[in-house]
Structure 1
Amino acid sequence: MSANKLKTFLVFNFIIPASFFIFAIYFMPIEQVFQFDTSDEGIELIKATLHLDGFAMYTQVWNDQPPLFTVILASWLAWFGKSIYSARLLTLSFSTILVWSFCQTLRIYLGNLPAIIGTLLLIISCNFLRLSVSVMIDLPSVAMVMLSIYTLSLYKKNVAQKFSKILIVISGGLLALSLQIKLFTAFIAPLIIFDLLQFTFKKNPQHQLKRQLFFNAVLWLTACLGIFIIVGILCNSLTYEQLLQSHLNNNVKTVFQAGYSQKLTLLFLLQDFDYLLLAILATIIIFQKKQWEKYFPIIWLITGFIVLINHQPVWYHHYLLLSIPLAWLATYGVTLSFNFFRQRKWYAKFKPRNFKKITVSGLAAGFVIFSIIVTPIKLGVIILENHRYLEQSQEHIQFVNILLKYKPSTKWVFTNCPIYAFYSGLPVPPEIGVLSRKRIESKTITPEQIIAVFETYHPEQVLLCKSQTIQNYLNSYLNQHYLNTYGNHLGNHYLLKETALKPLPMTNDK
């Protein structure tokens, strides 16, 4: 390997991913912030804790998501300790895989310099850094998708080489792993199959076409379905009722209105408006020049947008389904400006008298300059949000301290905010490990079932975050059996009356 090739190899396979990993650790307060997400972080942490304690998912622990991330997180916590810092490093590791595979894919399609630029665009895109350090399943799932796409890109680049078809199998398997983390990437599978069919059709001679055209697509799909089913059998996750029914329930669609989903999906694109301008320009040029080898992020972006505006509910973390193809297309838009910036005194071209003579390259350059101008604003917003998370953390810690105060006499804690249970090291009944708003609104858990949890486990402590529905379910029962010891705008803490009458056990804590 020549010195230049070795240098390039090190830059793209070690320096760039390592730099991102280190930057995220120092830029994002991953150890100091109590929670980056008010619901999902706690749910993922408590599911992993329950799994680690031996409770079975889908039978003992109700779970409306695939199991793979829970299994990985549980093992990770067993190896590196049950801490929020450790758990967030796992998500950051997945994010580093995403950044690396995205960068490598751009290298194949656009070259080295655009790959570096595109990676920077992705990193500073809206909510990417936040999701990179949040204990949530969305980013790990998308990371496996991007790795699948990169693997397939390697196949297309090395199609003539021996054993290249193993890359098709690996790509299908990686997409299956993505689906076993979260099912929201399912719409990308037919896009990949279509891309593989289009590539095979273009590369093969006519007399081999029929056999070869469908063989590659069937091979990819077989690998995807095979790995998905194997993981499902091993984790007992092939359950329609929990994985799909709670998401498709009509009650959910009524509570989470379509209009809100549509507005939020449109807002996603406006949050990275500079990328959108570059992406639109890139899309126009791709169609004008019929550069069909570059169409994949276009159909990904359009399909993802259609899926989201028709999905209920839509959350901020769903933006990953749009931000990655948007950053990909924006990178292509940046490359259109290269010829303009190579000119001597290019800045003189932006004088008002030259606007009528503006070229595509000049227009792209203008969008690039606009993106450079707004980048400090984006980073400033991230800093302000981090500061807000840090300020809120003190209020959350107050509830954890209350749980810890009564921990010696507590066997179970009932809460609809399980992140407090994770921080305090207290177990929750497995039936209510996932007590999300979606589960409540979809009626997959009823008031009678919730009361039954109390009758079975007799939790010594109850911590309810603000939820009018849960409060209405439990008001009468709590008033009869529990004392309200503390409350603020975040929620209320209750103590079992029998426990409140007992003296606290002595501890050796100093």
Structure 2
Amino acid sequence: MTNHKVKIFLLFNLLIPVGFFIFALTFMPIKQVFQFDSSDEGIELIKAILYLDGFSMYTQVWNDQPPLSTVILGFWLNLFGKSIYSARLLTLTYATMLVWSFSQTLRIYFGNLLAIIGTLMLIISCNFLRLSVSVMIGLPSLAMVMLSIFILSLYKQNFPHKNSQLLILLSGVLFGFSLQIKLFTAFIIPLILFDIIIFQVNKYNRQQLNWKVLLTPLLWLAACLIVSLLIAITWNSLNYEQLLQARLSEKTITAFLAKNSQILTLSFLLQDFDYLLLTILASTVIIQKKQWKNSFPVIWLVISFIVLMNHRPVWYHHYLLMSIPLTWLATYGLQLSLDFFRQNKWYSKFKLANFSQITIPYLAAVLIIFAIFVTPIKLGVILVENHKYLEQNQNHIQLVDILLKHKKYTNWLFTDYPIYAFYSGLPVPPEIAVLSHIRIESNSITAEQLISVLQMYRPEQVLLCKSQTIQQYLSNYLNQNYVQNYKNSLCTHFLLKGIP
């Protein structure tokens, strides 16, 4: 291996991933912020704690997500300590895997320089850094998808190497892991199968085309589904009622307005408007020139946009489904500008007189300069958001202190905000560990079920925060059996009568 190749190898396999890890660790207040998300961090943490305590998912712990993330997080917390810092380091590790595999994929398609620039664009894209240190499952699931796509890219690059089928199997296995972290990546499966088929068709001449062309995509699909099924069977997650019915039921659909989902989905595209402009340019070229080998991110972006426009509810973390292909295509847009920047005195071309003779490289160059100017604004927005989270810390800490004050008298804590249970080290009844927005607003859990939990566990402390619905459900029961102890802008705290 030549000295140049060694430097490139170290750049992409050490400097970029480690550099990102250190940058995120330094730039994001990973230790100081009480919570980065309104509820998901607490839900993921408390599920992992209950799993470590021996409670079974789907039978004892109601859970509308696949099990793999909870299992891995539980193992990680058991190994490195049950702290928010430790848990966020795990998410950052997933994010580093995503950044590494994304940079390697771009390197295969566009070369070293554009891969570096494209990776930097992904890192500073809207919400990426925040999601890189939040204890949530969307980014880990997409990290597995990106690893799968990178391995698939290696397969294409090395075809027809004798070990290429092993790469197909590994790619399918990694996607199976993604499905068992979060099911929202399932729509990418047909895209990958289509991409493999197109690749196979292009590699063989018409005389060689036969049913064997389907063997490779079928092998990938088999590896994906078998691994996913084995994980589901191992952790008893083949539960239609919890995994799918709660999300697809009529109650859920009517509980959230379609208009809100559509507005949020459209806003995603506007938050990285510079990338969107480059993406439109790149997609136009791909379609006009029929560059089907570059069409995968186009199809991914279009389908994810359609899916989110018709899905209820849509949350901010769903943007990753769009930002990854968006950045991929924006990088292709950068490539289109290379001919322009290779000209002597290219900067002198930016004149109104030249506007009538505009070319695609010229337009791409203008968009790149625009993207450079808005980059500091994006970083500034992240800093402002970090400050906002830090300002909220004091109210959160006051509530944890109140819980700790009565901890020695407490066997169970009933709360719709489990992040407080994690910080205070208090157990919650497994039936209400996941009181997500979807479960509450769709009435997937009833007043009778909640009161039954209170009667069964007789929790010494009750902390209600996010849901007026739950407070209405429990109002009479709490008035009869509990005393309101504290209230602030975030939550209301109750003590069981007789508790000092």
Per the normalisation by structure 2, the TM-score is 0.99
- SS for the counterpart of 1:484 is strand
Measure the CA separation in 2 of the matches of 1:438 and 1:113.
Answer: 43
Q: Deviations over 1:21-63 (max 9, x none)?
A: 0000000000000000011000000000000100000000000
- SS for the counterpart of 2:392 is helix
Cα shift at 1:150: 0.6
Q: Deviations over 1:82-105 (max 9, x none)?
A: 000000000000000000000000
1:507 alignment partner in structure 2:
none
1:476 alignment partner in structure 2:
476
- SS for the counterpart of 1:87 is helix
Measure the CA separation in 2 of the matches of 1:466 and 1:264.
Answer: 21
Measure the CA separation in 2 of the matches of 1:247 and 1:213.
Answer: 37
Q: How many residues align?
A: 500
* 8 Å contact kept, 1:466–1:491: yes
Cα shift at 1:348: 1.7
Aligned residue identity for 1:463: L
- SS for the counterpart of 1:44 is helix
* 8 Å contact kept, 1:200–1:212: no
Measure the CA separation in 1 of the matches of 2:310 and 2:444.
Answer: 23
Structure 1: runs of 5+ lacking an equivalent: 501-510
Cα shift at 1:287: 1.7
The reply to whether residue 399 of structure 1 matches residue 420 of structure 2 is no
Cα shift at 1:164: 0.8
* 8 Å contact kept, 2:67–2:237: yes
Cα shift at 1:357: 1.6
- SS for the counterpart of 2:484 is strand
Cα shift at 1:211: 3.4
Measure the CA separation in 2 of the matches of 1:350 and 1:356.
Answer: 12
The reply to whether residue 427 of structure 1 matches residue 394 of structure 2 is no
Measure the CA separation in 1 of the matches of 2:170 and 2:138.
Answer: 21
CA RMSD of aligned residues (A): 0.8
The reply to whether residue 459 of structure 1 matches residue 459 of structure 2 is yes
1:307 alignment partner in structure 2:
307
Per the normalisation by structure 1, the TM-score is 0.97
Measure the CA separation in 1 of the matches of 2:408 and 2:210.
Answer: 70
Cα shift at 1:354: 1.6
1:372 alignment partner in structure 2:
372
Taking every aligned residue pair, what percent have the same amino acid on both sides?
67
Cα shift at 1:206: 3.2
Aligned residue identity for 1:224: C
* 8 Å contact kept, 2:336–2:361: yes
Aligned residue identity for 2:417: C
2:186 alignment partner in structure 1:
186
Cα shift at 1:188: 0.1
1:138 alignment partner in structure 2:
138
2:160 alignment partner in structure 1:
160
- SS for the counterpart of 1:466 is coil
- SS for the counterpart of 2:311 is coil
Measure the CA separation in 2 of the matches of 1:270 and 1:115.
Answer: 23
Q: Deviations over 1:329-370 (max 9, x none)?
A: 000001111121222222221121221122211110100000
Cα shift at 1:130: 0.2
Q: Deviations over 1:286-312 (max 9, x none)?
A: 122221111100000000000000000
Cα shift at 1:441: 2.4
The reply to whether residue 231 of structure 1 matches residue 231 of structure 2 is yes
* 8 Å contact kept, 1:58–1:236: yes
* 8 Å contact kept, 1:204–1:212: no
Measure the CA separation in 2 of the matches of 1:463 and 1:322.
Answer: 36
* 8 Å contact kept, 2:255–2:442: no
* 8 Å contact kept, 1:466–1:489: no
Cα shift at 1:491: 1.2
- SS for the counterpart of 1:54 is coil
* 8 Å contact kept, 1:410–1:459: yes
- SS for the counterpart of 2:313 is coil
Measure the CA separation in 1 of the matches of 2:239 and 2:194.
Answer: 28
Structure 2: runs of 5+ lacking an equivalent: none
- SS for the counterpart of 1:145 is helix
The reply to whether residue 59 of structure 1 matches residue 59 of structure 2 is yes
2:254 alignment partner in structure 1:
254
Q: Deviations over 1:157-213 (max 9, x none)?
A: 111211110111111111111010000000000000000011111112334321321
Measure the CA separation in 2 of the matches of 1:329 and 1:163.
Answer: 30
The reply to whether residue 103 of structure 1 matches residue 134 of structure 2 is no
